[in-house]
């Protein structure tokens, strides 16, 4: 459980970093999957770099059983962007993610209508 909390802390420490398509570091900025990849990698855990592969890593977790540190996945329509990933923070259905161009890494509720509408699942990499 300590590793999961540490993963969430590492993700939270990136709040405010700029979104950058293809970005995967604090210095250049992050896209959604780059943030997930970088956070896990800081803890010695290898996850794929792109969202569709992150959607297949580890084991699936039903929404009612998500734990802090799990990867959450959303299917966003339009603009060529299909999957969006983030790190579940365990803070009342909140997650940390890098949303889109012009925005920065943030923590927000998965209970917002937008995120509820596009949520498709979660993956557990750490047991």
Give catalytic status of residue 97 as yes or no: yes
Question: How many Å from the N-terminal Cα to the C-terminal Cα in the chain?
Answer: 8
Annotated catalytic residue, options 7, 70, 74, 97 = 97
Residue 100's H or E segment, with its range, is none
Spot the catalytic one: 32, 71, 76, 122: 32
State how far the Cα of 19 lies from the Cα of 34, in Å rounded to an integer. Answer: 10
Point out the catalytic residue in the list 4, 17, 84, 123.
Answer: 84
d(CA 122, CA 71): 5
Q: Residue 32 catalytic?
A: yes
How does strand 71-75 pair with strand 106-109?
Answer: unpaired
Q: Which residues contact 81 (CB under 8 A, 6 or more apart)?
A: 100
User: How many C-beta atoms lie closer than 10 Å to residue 91's C-beta?
Assistant: 13
Active site residues: 32, 84, 97
């Amino acid at each position: 459980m300590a590793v999961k909390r540490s993963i969430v802390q590492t993700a939270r420490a990136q709040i405010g970093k700029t979104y950058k398509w293809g970005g995967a570091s604090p210095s250049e900025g992050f896209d959604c999957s780059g943030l997930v990849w970088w956070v896990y990698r800081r803890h010695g855990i290898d996850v794929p770099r792109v969202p569709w592969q992150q959607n297949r890593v580890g084991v699936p977790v039903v929404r009612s059983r998500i734990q802090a540190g799990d990867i959450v996945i959303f299917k966003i329509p339009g603009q060529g962007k299909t999957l969006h990933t983030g790190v579940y923070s365990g803070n009342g259905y909140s997650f940390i993610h890098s949303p889109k161009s012009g925005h920065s890494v943030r923590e927000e509720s998965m209970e917002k209508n937008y995120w509820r509408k596009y949520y498709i699942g979660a993956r557990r990499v750490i047991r």
